[in-house]
Each structure stands twice: as structure tokens, then as C-alpha cells.
Chains A and B, each alone.
Chain A
Amino acid sequence: MATFRILEDQENTNAHLRRQQKEAQVNVQQQKRSVLGILSNNVSRPAGLKQTKSDLNLCAKNKNEVEVKSSFSIFVDEESPKQEKKEVKKADASNTVFSLPEAIDRLPLQVELLCNDTPLHSPMAVDKSSDLKKPIKDSENKTWNKFMGFSEYFEDIYKYLRHAEKRSRAKANYMRQQPDVTASMRSILVDWLVEVGEEYKLQTETLYLAVSYIDRFLSYMSVLRAKLQLVGTAAMFIAAKYEEVFPPDVNEFAYITDDTYTKKTVLRMEQMILKVLSFDLSAPTVLSFLNIYSEGPLKSGFEETMSDHDKETIMYLAMFFSELSLVDGDPYLQFLPSVRAAAAIALARHTLEWRPVWTPALVKASGYQLSELLSCIKCLQATFEGAVNHPQQAVREKYKSNRWHNVSLHTPHSEPIC
């Protein structure tokens, strides 16, 4: 019950009225400055959003602004505070989601934050330069070596995870029942979360968890598009708290939405998601199965003769495929995470011309025959082939880097897998 209490004092307009307002919003799209705008616009991202390290403080915001092509260069130092204030006001006025008084109350703070010391006050700035972050980043590369310690319980754990993955699943076709949000909006949201994860150097697992929370939440609750990003933000916040050693604080999550939502709103949504998911937050993800298949005690994903570099490349390519599949909810929600992981490894091996694509060791470790994976592999292959022209490019950008062996630059294998 308490879940729904969080909604009071939000607004006193009724749903019908708000819908009209929302339509009005679409017309004033230009002036909007957040991903909220992007979600209804479905504008594709300009390629090559690579940021230099010094830009990182700002890029979460800047990226959003690029899309919305409003004059929100307020983060640039040359802008006069006066001008900024005006623009912020305008944007808030168009943002009818929240009651006006609240927006006005926040104004002075916001302007100060934006024009004066964004790099200083931005929690991101602190995080980027912080030494604390460094060891984690290093250790993340080795994360999937750590399953080895569990070798003793490996079979039990795998059996358990295969059981657990069936327990909390999103409905494959939930989008059909969503009255306002669409699959492409979901894609934009996930794409944006990929960027958020990159900017905050979050564990990849956090992203997978957040997307699974979003899908499960949307399976049960209908959400208006104006609130979709809020659901995504709060889901990422929860996932970070579950998974990260040093989760970013709530201010940063409000900040990355370009202050479209207040801290308080993010916290309310957090509470609502926790309630709807009834705290079932530990479901195994595609990534956890990727780790098991490739780095379990059986090392089943690899041949003994492979170099470490080759092994990593297979792993990263499989991760790239899996993250692409994260962006497109359909058709992948129908597949179990273990199937998606196994299919991604098979396709990675196929793309890199390792034969056989599905070794006896992989059959043994996963319990899957290649034939059981084919329909998922075909979907992944189509997604891979379409990736270059996909409107969302964050995953490709991410995996272009050296850190991931530039795996997204690989071209799809010309032959079908079998």
C-alpha cells in the first residue's frame, strides 16, 4: 500500500489532462533539454561521442543536449548567468510533469550549480578523478576470473542459477500492453543507461541488473513516457546499490537526467520499484552466465591452445552481442539469460572463426546443445548485422575502445552459423 502513497502530492491534475499537456509538450520539443525529449523524438545519436577525460564531468548533460538541439550550452563557461536562467525557466515551464512551484523553488540552486562550479560540485567530477575508483576498474577486468574460487560448488551454483533465472522474468510481450511507451523508447533508455554506466565506470553487471528491473517493472506497471526515464534512473540507482562497491549517490542520478527529476522523485520511484519487484533483485543476468561459461572451472568457452588475448576477445565479443541484445528488448525477452549467454559465445566463436563453434566442453558446461541455441543465435546475428545502422550507438561506441579489444569493429561473418 505504501508504495502508492509515494504518489500523493505529486500533482492534482487528472490523467486525461496530463495527457493533453504531454501532447503539448511534444510540440515544444525544441525547448526541452532532457532525455525526456529524446524519448519521444527518437533522434539518433551522433556517432563518435567519445569524450576526453576532461570532458567527462559534463558529458552526461552535454550528450543529452546535443540531441535535443536546444540552446543548452549553459555548461559552457562563456554563457552569462542571466541567459541561462531564462532558459532554465523556459525548460521547466515546458516540463509539466511536476507542479510548477516545485520547479521554481529549485531554480536558483540549479542555476548556481550549472553556471558556476559544475566541475567542482558535480559528484561526477569527484568520482572521475578519485583514486578510489581506480582499483575497482582494474579489478573489473579480472572479475570473471573470480568464479574460480567457487569451483567446489560450481555445479551446485550453476544448477541453482538455472533455476533462479526462471523465477523472476519479465513478460516477453509486455510492450504490447504499455499504452504510452514503445519499444524504441525503451531502446533509447537502455542506450542512455549504457552511457551512464560508462561515465560512472559502473560494473557492466549493474547495467544488466538495471535493465532487468526495468523490464520487470514495465511488465506489471503502465508508465507514461514522461516517466520512463525516471523508472530507468531509479532502476540504475537500485542496481548500483546492489552491485557496486561505491555506488554513486542519488544526487548524481538526479543530475544525469539533467535534473529532469528531483532527488526526491528518484527516491520515490526507487521505493515503488522495490515494492513492485518485492525486493527480488538478485536474479542472474546474461553476464553472470557469460562469466560461468567462459571462466568457470571448466574454462569451457576456450581451447587450451588459445592465447589469453584470444580468450578475452571471445569474451568481449560475446559481451558486445549481449549488450546489443539488451538494447532491443524484443525478441530477446523470450529467451532465458543462460540461452542468451550461450548463444552470444557461440556467435562470438563463429565470428572469430573458431571451430567448432560449440565444443563438447561448452555442451557439458551449459547443458545446451547447439540446436537449442539456434533461434537465439539467429536473432543475435541479425542484431549484429543491423548494429551499424541502429539508431542507438552507445554499445558500439563502448566496445570500440581498446579496453574491449575494439570488438565492435568486427564485421559479421558472411556465412550462417550452420
Chain B
Amino acid sequence: MTDPACMHVKSEAMDIKVLHKSSTFSSFTSGSHKIGNWFATLSERRRKSSMKASKSLTLGVVHENPRFGSDGESEEASGASDEVTSPVKLRPKNRRLSEQDINKRLSLPADLHLPESFIAKQNVSPTIDGPLSRATRRQSLSEIGFGRMETYTKLGKLGQGTYATVFKGKSRLTDNLVALKEIRLEHEEGAPCTAIREVSLLKELRHANIVTLHDIVHTEKSLTLVFEYLEKDLKQYMDDCGNILSLNNVKLFLFQLLRGLAYCHRRRILHRDLKPQNLLINERGELKLADFGLARAKSVPTKTYSNEVVTLWYRPPDVLLGSTEYSTQIDMWGVGCIFYEMACGRPLFPGSTVEEELRLIFRALGSPPADAWGGMAASYDIPHYQPAPLLSWAPRLDADAVDLLTKFLCYEAKKRVSAADAMKHTYFRSLGPAVHKLPDVVSIFTVPGIQLNKDPGYRASGFPKSGVSGRSRRQSMLL
């Protein structure tokens, strides 16, 4: 199945071939004359476009965490490559290529182990010298092991949903842990909408506070998304510390949530399913937005949320009442709910039906004005509630925090504070100015003085191995 020669034959059967140079497919397995031809055709015609293409083809471009040092590995492997003797001399300057050269060439992270056979081929074939075309790069990535299930070892199941299963796994390329979200394609509609949106949108997003999609393995039976692995989600984190978080940590988590969200919103992407289960947290305290299955780019009508799929607790009242007028503010209500939940240790509006959810909201925040949401609320029989002061039910929050919370939980969507503005709120002043000046992909924990505190309710057994609650976690990734 992965033999390039077979691939060529099979693609012909579908009457579809790679344009221009069908020999690409056989260049690694067939005689040397073909490689020469292929290279000649390749270099001129595609010089310009291919460079562009190689940049845009980010499928395999991995942002593996550089913490896992890699220099030793590279040296080791490049030593191995010196042993290779090329059977065919194609080009006069037949220099040996180290693993580092190849990684750099293919825009791959430095900590990748390249298979020896691949390095050997790179020293024979001209891939590395000529301009890199989209197809060539794809071919190379595939030979390294991207896009192939064999590259990932399954270690155990993290959770199961209706048509996806999430496994903990390990990449043989980097030895890093990964989360494998396996979507079965047997339900006869091909790739599900959620997967199509999640993959295409996540590929646009490279940010320290958004989960990284490393790879996609697409076969006829399943579609597996390979994510970076994070130890737990916020729900589990809160459970593990008895729902009493350090207020410093609450601030750091909220700031990171806003930072990731502002990045999405600047790219006209709405998450639309924020909840603690979709916020992943690693040992360092880095929080990352995950599960973009309900996310949408820009301005299309909302998909009506189904109660069975998404919890109601984080849904804004205007959406509960059926509004399809939505924008980035749709995400901000949920941020407020999560903020409260982190600080107070319990969900803010844990309704089980739309009606109950609305009642809980109105009871806490007061009845909406009669003309709210274009009179949409009028069709509901809303008892009159006096607004209860937020402070009275959020005793751990100081005045700044309550002020910010009030700005998230604003009935009128247009008046809800945006993620970008919320980051500038006085509540976050104690973090200092440096956290606002970081490049997108840099974590806030690189700023001196920013660190996670020990949570008051933290139980020693909690962190990396979370045996008990492990089964229910990550349910949210399973939509």
C-alpha cells in the first residue's frame, strides 16, 4: 500500500494522475535514469510555485515541543548516514546529507528520528537538492513516516464517543506522547463535518495556547488525527485538586484561555464549544484550546446545538433563546462561566434543560430587560428576578475579578468584553507587561516570574497518572 510503484498503478485506475511527472511516484524504487528525467522536468517548470507550495503544505510540519532535547539523536543518526554508500551517482556534487540537513530541508523539527533507509535514499535521490515540490515533499514526509499509522504506537484508550475513540500514543519519530483521535469512517458519509472543520481550521492555527495537530492518518476505514499529548483537561485538573485552585493559577489559566481565543478570533474562527473538558493542561500549567469540531470560520449561521452533544452550561442566553446572530462574543459567555467555575469550584449554571439553564442564569443575574434580544425572551415565561450581586456568590474573587466576570456575563452580546480587551483588564496587571509581547507560539511560562502555584486542594496522587478519572476525561474530544 505504501509502495510508490503500486500507488502509481492504482491512481491510474481512477484515471487520475499527478500532473506533469508521473515518474515521481516511481523515482525512489525504479532505475536511476528516471530520476534524472524527473529532476530535469521538475526544476524549471515548478521552481516558483513549488516553493510556495512547500510552505503551505503544513500537514506534516510539526511543532514538537523542543524541550525534549534532540541534538544527541541527530548526531547519532547522521553518523549512521555516513555508512551509506550510494549505488548511483547522479549529481557531481554528491554530498552526504545528515539527518539535520534533511529535517531542515523538509521544514521538520530537529528532534525527529529519520529512518535510516530514508536518509540513504535522500543521499541517492535528488529530492534534497532540487526545488521542493508539493508532491515531492509529500512523498518525503510519507517516507519518513508521516501520515502512516505504523508511526504511532497506541498505548491505551483515553475515551470513546459515538464515532471517535481517543488513544494515548507514542510517535516513533520523536518518542513524544501523542493523543490519537481515531474517527471511524464506516458511517457512510465519508469524513464527518466535525473532522473536516477541525482539521482545516486547526491547520491554520499555530499558537502556544491551541493544541497542535501533528499529523493526519487517512485511510479508507478511519481518519486519525494526531495531536500533541497533554496530561489532563481543566475539568480533571479541577477534580484532582478538590475543586480548590490557587487563585494565581486561575489567573494564569484564564489569561491563557483568552490569549488562545483572541488568536482564533483574529483569524475569524469561533470555537463555539468552550468548556473545561475542551481546555487541556500540561504539567507546566500550559493551557490549550482543543476540540475544534464545532468551530466555524467567520460568518455563517450557527448550527443549532443539540442538547445531547454539547453541555448547556456554557451557552450564552441569546443562543439558548435561539439567536443565530452571533460573532466572537458567542465564546465570551463561556469564558465567564469557566472563570467562575475555576475560582469557585463549581459550575456556574448547571442546568439540564434549556428552560432550567435560563432560569439559573436569570436568577443569578436578574431578569433580562423586556426588549432584550429583540423580544426573543418574551416568548418565555420568565419570573421576575432581582439581580444578585456577583460578589455574594463568588467569595474568593476580588473586586477586579468580579468586574471582569461581570463583563463576560453580559446579556447583550455586543457589550460582552472581547478576548483581546479582557487580556488588558486590571485583573491581569499583576502578570506584568511581558506576557502581552510574546510571539504567538511562545508560552507565557517563558516569562520570568510566571509560574504555577501549588493548588491548595491538590492531592499528591493526582498529577501525571490519573487512573480513576481517566476514563471519563476527553469525552469532549469525541463529538
B382 to chain A, nearest CB (A): 24
Q: How far is the CA of A161 from the CA of B266 in the complex (A)?
A: 10
Chain A: interface residue total (CB-CB under 8 A): 78
Q: Residue on A with the closest CB to B149?
A: A2
Please determine whether A281 and B16 come into contact, CB atoms closer than 8 angstroms: no
CB neighbours of B93 from chain A (8 A) = none
Contact of B216 among A6, A231, A272, A279 (CB under 8 A): A279
Q: Which of A157, A169, A231, A278 has the most CB of B within 10 A?
A: A278
State how many angstroms separate the Cβ of B9 from the closest Cβ of chain A: 8
> Which residues from chain B contact A220 at a C-beta distance below 8 Å?
18-19, 134-135
Q: How far is the CA of A388 from the CA of B268 in the complex (A)?
A: 38
CB distance from A204 to the nearest CB of B (A): 11
Q: B16 to A8, Cβ gap below 8 A?
A: no
Interchain CB contact under 8 A, B298 and A11: no
Given contacts A136-B301, A174-B19, contact A152 B56 (CB under 8 A): no
Min CB gap A254→B, angstroms: 11
Residues on A with C-beta less than 8 A from B134 are: 220
State whether the Cβ of A178 lies closer than 8 Å to any Cβ in chain B: yes
A2 and B219 within 8 A (CB):
yes
User: Given the complex, which residues of B lie within 8 Å of A11, measured CB to CB?
Assistant: 13
Contacts of A291 in B (CB 8 A): 299
Minimal Cβ-Cβ distance residue in A for B20:
A177
Q: Is A418 an interface residue (CB 8 A)?
A: no
Chain B residues contacting A139 (CB-CB under 8 Å) are: 301, 324
Bound: A269/B16 CA distance, A: 10
B17 CB, min distance to chain A CBs, angstroms: 5
* In the complex, residue of chain B having the shortest beta-carbon distance to the beta carbon of A295: B299
| A51 → B minimal CB distance (Å) | 25
The answer on a CB contact under 8 Å between B16 and A282 is: no
Q: Are B188 and A279 in contact (CB under 8 A)?
A: no
Interface positions, chain A 156-176, Cβ under 8 Å from B, are 156-157, 160-161, 164, 166-169, 171, 174
With A279-B200, A279-B203, A291-B299 given, is the CB distance from A153 to B420 under 8 Å? yes
Residue pair A221, B16 in contact (C-beta under 8 Å): yes
Q: Does B300 contact A (CB under 8 A)?
A: yes
Hey, which chain A residues are within 8 Å of B203, CB to CB? 278-280, 282
Docked Cα-Cα span, A1 to B216, in Å, equals 12
- Which of the residues A135, A166, A222, A247 comes within 8 Å of B193, measured between beta carbons? A247
Are A270 and B191 neighbours in the complex by a CB distance under 8 Å?
yes
Contact with A143, one of B13, B197, B199, B301 (Cβ below 8 angstroms): B301
B18 touching A221, Cβ below 8 Å: yes
Interface residues as binary, A132-151 with B (CB distance below 8 Å gives 1, 0 otherwise): 00011001100110111110
Complex: A148 Cα to B326 Cα, angstroms: 10
- Bound-state CA distance A250–B266 (Å) is 34
> In the complex, what residue of chain A is closest to B329 when comparing beta carbons?
A149
Interface stretch of the complex, out of A193-201, A235-243, A311-319, A395-403 = A235-243
Q: Which residues does chain A contribute within 8 Å of B105, judged by CB atoms?
A: none
Q: Are A224 and B10 in contact (CB under 8 A)?
A: no
| Residues from chain B with Cβ under 8 Å of A18 in the complex | 15
- Picked from B15, B138, B197, B265, the residue with its CB within 8 Å of the CB of A153 is B265
- Residues from chain A with Cβ under 8 Å of B204 in the complex: 164, 282
B18:A222 contact, CB within 8 angstroms:
yes
Nearest-neighbour CB distance to chain A for B441, whole angstroms, equals 16
Taken residue by residue from 183 to 213, chain B's Cβ proximity to chain A (1 for < 8 Å, 0 otherwise) reads as 0000011111100110111011000000000
**Do the beta carbons of B327 and A3 come within 8 Å of each other?**
no
Shortest Cβ distance from A11 into B: residue? B13
Q: Is B125 located at the chain interface by the 8 A CB criterion?
A: no
Q: Is B277 an interface residue (CB 8 A)?
A: no
User: A139–B325 Cα gap in the complex (Å)?
Assistant: 9
Contact across chains for A149 and B15 when beta carbons are under 8 A apart? no
Using CB atoms, name the residue of chain A closest to B269.
A282
Residues of chain A within 8 A (CB-CB) of B303 are 245
Query: What separation, in Å, do the CA atoms of A174 and B49 have in the docked complex?
Result: 12
Check A144/B299 contact, CB under 8 A, given A149-B328, A242-B196, A274-B218. yes
Neighbouring B residues of A135 by C-beta, 8 Å: 301, 324
B298 and A5 contact, CB distance less than 8 A: no
**Which residues on A sit within 8 Å (CB–CB) of B420?**
152-153
Residues of B within 8 Å of A223, CB to CB, are 15-16
Q: Which residues of B contact A122 (CB under 8 A)?
A: none
Please give, as numbers and ranges, the residues of chain A lying within 8 Å of B91 by CB-CB distance: none
Chain A residues near B197: list those with CB within 8 A: 242
**CB-nearest residue of chain A relative to B219?**
A2
Residue B370 at the chain A interface, CB threshold 8 Å: no
Q: B298, A288: Cβ atoms under 8 Å? A: yes
**Contact between A171 and B49 (Cβ–Cβ < 8 Å)?**
yes
Smallest CB–CB gap between A233 and chain B, Å? 12
A205 to B197, CA, bound (A): 15
In the bound complex, residues from chain B placing their C-beta under 8 Å from that of A221 are: 16-19
Question: What are the interface flags for A245-265 relative to B under an 8 Å C-beta threshold, 1 for contact and 0 otherwise?
Answer: 101011000000000000100
Q: In this assembly, does A126 line the interface, its C-beta being within 8 Å of a C-beta of chain B?
A: no
Confirm or deny: B438 has a beta carbon within 8 angstroms of a beta carbon on chain A: no
* Complex: A227 Cα to B13 Cα, angstroms: 11
* Among all A-B residue pairs, the 8 with the closest Cβ atoms: A149-B327, A224-B15, A146-B299, A7-B10, A281-B200, A4-B7, A156-B266, A7-B14
Provide 26 A-B residue pairs closer than 8 Å at the C-beta atoms, listed in order of the A residue. A2-B147, A3-B7, A3-B11, A4-B10, A11-B13, A144-B299, A146-B299, A146-B300, A146-B326, A149-B413, A150-B299, A152-B420, A153-B328, A160-B266, A160-B267, A161-B268, A169-B52, A174-B19, A227-B14, A247-B193, A268-B14, A274-B191, A279-B200, A279-B203, A282-B200, A282-B201
Can you name 10 extra interface pairs (CB under 8 A) apart from A1-B147, A3-B11, A205-B300? A3-B218, A6-B10, A149-B326, A152-B421, A153-B268, A220-B18, A221-B18, A243-B300, A245-B302, A263-B188
Q: Spell out B's residues near A (CB within 8 Å).
A: 1-2, 6-8, 10-20, 49, 52, 55-59, 134-135, 138, 142, 147-148, 188-193, 196-197, 199-201, 203-204, 216-220, 265-268, 297-304, 324-329, 413-414, 418, 420-421
Chain A residues proximal to chain B, CB less than 8 Å: 1-8, 10-12, 14-15, 18, 97, 135-136, 139-140, 143-144, 146-150, 152-153, 156-157, 160-161, 164, 166-169, 171, 174, 177-178, 203, 205, 219-224, 226-227, 231, 237-238, 241-243, 245, 247, 249-250, 263, 266-272, 274-275, 278-282, 288, 291
